[in-house]
Amino acid sequence: METLKIAIQKSGRLSEKSLELIEECGIKHIQGKRKLISVSPNFPIELLFLRDDDIPQYVADGVADIGIVGENEVLEKGKDVELTERLGFARCRLSLAIPQSIQYKDNSYFNGKRIATSYPRILQKFLDENKLNAEIHEISGSVEIAPSIGLADSIFDIVSSGSTLVSNRLKEVEVVIQSEAVIISTPGLKKAKKAILNDFIFRIHAVLQSKNNKYILLNAPNENLEKIINILPGIKSPTVMPLFEPGWSSLHSVVNEKKFWEIIGKLKEFGAQGILVIPIEKMIV
């Protein structure tokens, strides 16, 4: 039987979340210590544990059919892979940063400067697009210390909270790309593999949707029912049931996490009571 080979990071910032996502999709995997490959007993999938830098190449070559990796690595490596799905975790950005003490007006600052980075390809593209001439110093780690040891004037690196920059007396001056974990796949997968991938993606959508949404139950006075229904979209539309107490109804709906507090505020304004908010385990729309 055909199996889908999926490359994930062996150990690092993506590993735990990648495995968690696979588990939440109901896919079991048996992982022995230091094993490079793990086969699932209940889904036609095989896990390959690799360094994140190698994942785009393995997927481009078809050694792995798909991979979970940071978008930054995909862009940097420039391999022939398809971006199949955005996963919403490991969010970060690739930014240019300079010493805090330096005044910064615009990106012409970088003309004639030395920039240390582990992402020369993405940086070169930014420089070209902005017609800037700077010298790129490629280093593989601890990029943030380059200015203080005199190796470079500035850096181009991953930023997430920004605290690494602050503790190295640097400031972020240009955000070049945003990144998150993504699924990449080999172009032109065979039909049988594509079918497994589609099933996997279907499950991922159910998991991601459930994370972005909450189930909400509340009691509403009938005179405001219409106003409340207007702000509670639901999957199709909200469920409305009469309460035993005359003049009141119970409403059930699904709300997006991002709009949540805004919606709660309005619900209270329209006299809603007994609001319960419940996490959703899986959501198939």
What is the per-residue DSSP string for 27-58? ------TT-SEEE-SSSSEEEEEE-GGGHHHH
Q: 56, 79 in Cβ contact below 8 A? A: yes
140 touching ligand PRT, by CB under 6 A:
no
Nearest residue to ligand PRT on Cβ basis = 70
For residue 11, report the phi and psi dihedrals to the nearest 5 degrees: -150, 130
Binding positions for ligand PRT, 58-87, rule CB under 6 A: 70, 72-73
- Distance between CA atoms of residues 95 and 179, nearest Å: 11
Nearest CA-CA partner of 137 in 165, 99, 110, 160: 110
User: Of ligand PRT, Zn ion, none, which one sits near residue 160, judging by CB under 5 to 8 A according to partner kind?
Assistant: ligand PRT
Q: 169, 98 in Cβ contact below 8 A? A: no
- Minimum distance, C-beta of residue 40 to Zn ion, in the bound complex (Å): 25
Binding positions for Zn ion, 31-90, rule CB under 5 A: 52-53
Cβ closer to ligand PRT: 11 or 256? 11
Cβ closer to ligand PRT: 72 or 213? 72
Of the candidate residues 6, 21, 47, 92, the single one contacting ligand PRT (CB under 6 A): 92
For residue 65, report the phi and psi dihedrals to the nearest 5 degrees: -80, -40
Cβ closer to ligand PRT: 9 or 249? 9
179 touching ligand PRT, by CB under 6 A:
yes
Residues that bind ligand PRT (CB under 6 A): 9, 12-14, 51-53, 70, 72-73, 90, 92, 144, 157-164, 179
